[in-house]
């Protein structure tokens, strides 16, 4: 349907996969509404949809590379079952202010790079890995909730996130992971306060 010149994409009940490049470059799309049966959004499906503001994908488990690359207006993402976010999937989503990923297991490289308005990221305890530069240059990022585990974070994940001040722990040991975060001064401060940080409640609100 259309709202004036704007397009709202409502996925048909028979569709389970949004195919690669299906809507690439459609600059009038403002909203995507998926039903529970949509499981995957393939690569570049909404690449450069610069007016897309809202994405509702309650059953999607995989978002492939560049799926929402340069969706400059995107502010609202609902994705309760999302398990894997592939390379650069949300890169350059410069209006995205928060993201809640309760089911995510893997965040690949550059997934949220240059999401410069992102202030809060909340990731549940199913997370197994965040790969290189996933949140690099998220200049406004202030708070993240993650389940700190051995080998969870690679180098440069948070490089450029100089405003990152709060890490809420879901569970796990802090010492090895803290050294992978971006700012040396920030890491040192955090290590000095290691005992108090370990007391943060596992279900602390990251909002």
Instruction: Give the pLDDT of residue 169.
Output: 83
Which position has the higher pLDDT, 134 or 204? Answer: 134
Average pLDDT, the chain: 86
Please report the sign of the dihedral spanned by the C-alpha atoms of residue 13, residue 16, residue 22, residue 25. positive
Average pLDDT (25-47) is 98
Average pLDDT (49-60) is 98
Instruction: Give the pLDDT of residue 191.
Output: 55
Distance CA 198, CA 177 (A): 13
Output phi, psi for 63, to 5 deg.
-115, 115
Give the global pTM: 0.82
Whether pLDDT at 99 is above 70? yes
Could you tell me which residues come within 8 angstroms of residue 39 by beta carbon, excluding any fewer than 6 positions away?
16, 17, 59, 60, 61, 62
Whether pLDDT at 203 is above 70? no
Which position has the higher pLDDT, 169 or 50? Answer: 50
**DSSP letters of the chain?**
-EETTEEEEE--TT--EEPTTTTTT-TTEEEEE--TT--EE-TTTTTT-TT--EEE-TT--EE-TTTTTT-TT--EEE-TT--EE-TTTTTT-TT--EEEETT--EE-TTTTTT-TT--EEEE-TT--EE-TTTTTT-TT--EEEE---TT-B-TTTTTT-TT--EEEESSS--HHHHTTSS-HHHHHHHHHTHHHHTTS-TT----
Whether pLDDT at 167 is above 90? no
Please report which confidence band the pLDDT of residue 181 belongs to, taking 50, 70 and 90 as the band edges: low
Report pLDDT digits (tens) over 55-91: 999 999 999 999 999 999 999 999 999 999 999 999 9
């Amino acid at each position: 349907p259309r709202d004036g010149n704007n397009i709202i994409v409502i996925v048909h009940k028979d569709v389970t996969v949004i195919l690669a490049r299906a809507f690439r470059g459609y600059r009038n799309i403002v909203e995507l509404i998926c039903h529970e049966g949509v499981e995957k959004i393939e690569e570049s499906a909404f690449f450069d949809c610069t007016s897309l503001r809202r994405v509702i994908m309650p059953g999607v488990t995989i978002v492939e590379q560049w799926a929402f690359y340069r969706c400059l207006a995107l502010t609202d993402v609902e994705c309760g079952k999302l398990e894997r976010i592939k390379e650069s999937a949300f890169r350059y989503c410069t209006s995205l202010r928060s993201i809640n990923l309760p089911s995510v297991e893997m965040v690949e490289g550059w997934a949220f790079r240059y999401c410069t308005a992102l202030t809060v990221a909340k990731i549940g305890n199913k997370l197994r890995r965040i790969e290189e530069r996933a949140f690099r240059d998220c200049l406004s990022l202030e708070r993240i909730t993650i389940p700190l585990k051995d080998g969870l974070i690679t180098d440069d994940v948070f490089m450029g996130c100089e405003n990152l001040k709060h890490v809420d722990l879901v569970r796990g040991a802090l010492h090895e992971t803290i050294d992978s975060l971006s700012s040396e001064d920030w890491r040192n401060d955090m290590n000095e306060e290691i005992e108090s940080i370990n007391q943060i409640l596992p279900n602390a609100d990251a909002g």
